[in-house]
Structure 1
């Protein structure tokens, strides 16, 4: 899972809200490891922002170190500067979201141990009348080329069928949730085509753009990136595992 804390402009001082969030995080009971990554908006030079992001990450690391119990291992503390922007900086709200530290929480696993994440029934397994708002569904066979927002050809028929359902049920509104595999040193992966670090979003958005071209109105579709937080298989050991995690799921928002 991921917890993020946010900072004021040009500051690495923890706010009271951030301290409360980190206090809660430090009380987790399972055997866990934390990775901490500091981030900045685009204001200032690369050198300055690298130092600022390191200071932010270190502030979080030192605070957590004073709180965590023996069951939690603080594995790494890294400042990423402004080089791996998740959000663009077109508005103050988006710039604020880039002024943050991400704490990735992972299980300490035995050698060779694997975990299976939650899987969902197919979006096509039941009639629209039987679906419930808020439920998450899989899009079977919709998987992606590694590092890219291009889906494998076996997904073509599935997405065409999805477009037909949405066109035939004009009251439906959905959220597309993109996922990646295997990049556990960043919240999200690099889109090799766009050179951005929001691969899970660009995968969901690629399907949104496809559906729009099929005649589904844009306002009925929301695209979001979930990064690597919900793998179907973890850790990945085979190409099949990688492919399974490069996926998009769909949430019914309105019917």
Structure 2
């Protein structure tokens, strides 16, 4: 699980909403590890942003230390500066999402232990009349090459079927949500083709671009990245596990 705490421009002070979220995290009962990473937008010098991100991470750590009990350990308190932004800073909204501290929450696993995430019905397996707005659906066989936003050829048929459903239902609007595997030191993974740290988003965006090229209007498709939240399998122990988590799911927004 990951939780993010957001900050005002140039600030490393917690607001009441952030303190409330941290209070809630401190009440978790399992034996857990918290890893804390501070981040910045691109405004300011590299050195200024590194120090600011460190101050943000330390502020969150110091607050949690006053709240947690022995079942929670704080590890890897790091300021990343602006080096691993998940957005491009092209608007104030996107810059605001870069001004944050990410708290990665993990529990101890026994050797060989795995957990399975929630499974969703196939978007291709239901009639449109049976689908519910705001529900999440899977895109069977749409998985990606590790570190890249290129899907495996096994997903081609599914994506053409998705195109046909959108073509035949012109009022339908959807959100494509990208996922990654394995990289638990960052909110999102590194896209090796683009050298950016928003791999889950670029995977969703690649499918959006494919659908646009087939003639589906861009306004009907939203793309978002979920990082490594909601894995199908965790922790990943085999290449099959990793492939399952490199995926895009679909949320029905309008039909």
Say what the alpha-carbon RMSD is for the aligned residues.
1.1
Task: Note the residue ranges of structure 1 that are not aligned, 5 or more in a row.
Answer: none
Shift of 1:9: 2.0
Counterparts of 2:146 and 2:90 in 1: how far apart (Å)?
28
Counterparts of 1:42 and 1:87 in 2: how far apart (Å)?
10
Range with bigger deviation, 85-94 or 217-226: 85-94
Partner of 2:183: 183
Range with bigger deviation, 242-251 or 87-96: 87-96
Shift of 1:8: 2.1
Shift of 1:108: 2.3
1:1-255 residue pairs with structure 2 within 5 A?
Answer: 1-255=1-255
Shift of 1:242: 0.8
Task: Note the residue ranges of structure 2 that are not aligned, 5 or more in a row.
Answer: none
What do residues 94-145 of structure 1 show as CA deviations (whole Å, max 9, x unaligned)? 2222111111222222232211111112111111111111111111111001
What do residues 159-216 of structure 1 show as CA deviations (whole Å, max 9, x unaligned)? 0111001100111111111000000000000111111100000000100110111111
Shift of 1:31: 2.4
Q: Which portions of structure 1, spanning 4 or more consecutive aligned residues, are displaced by more than 6 angstroms?
A: none
Counterparts of 1:100 and 1:188 in 2: how far apart (Å)?
14
TM-score by length of structure 1 reads 0.97
SS at match of 1:163: helix
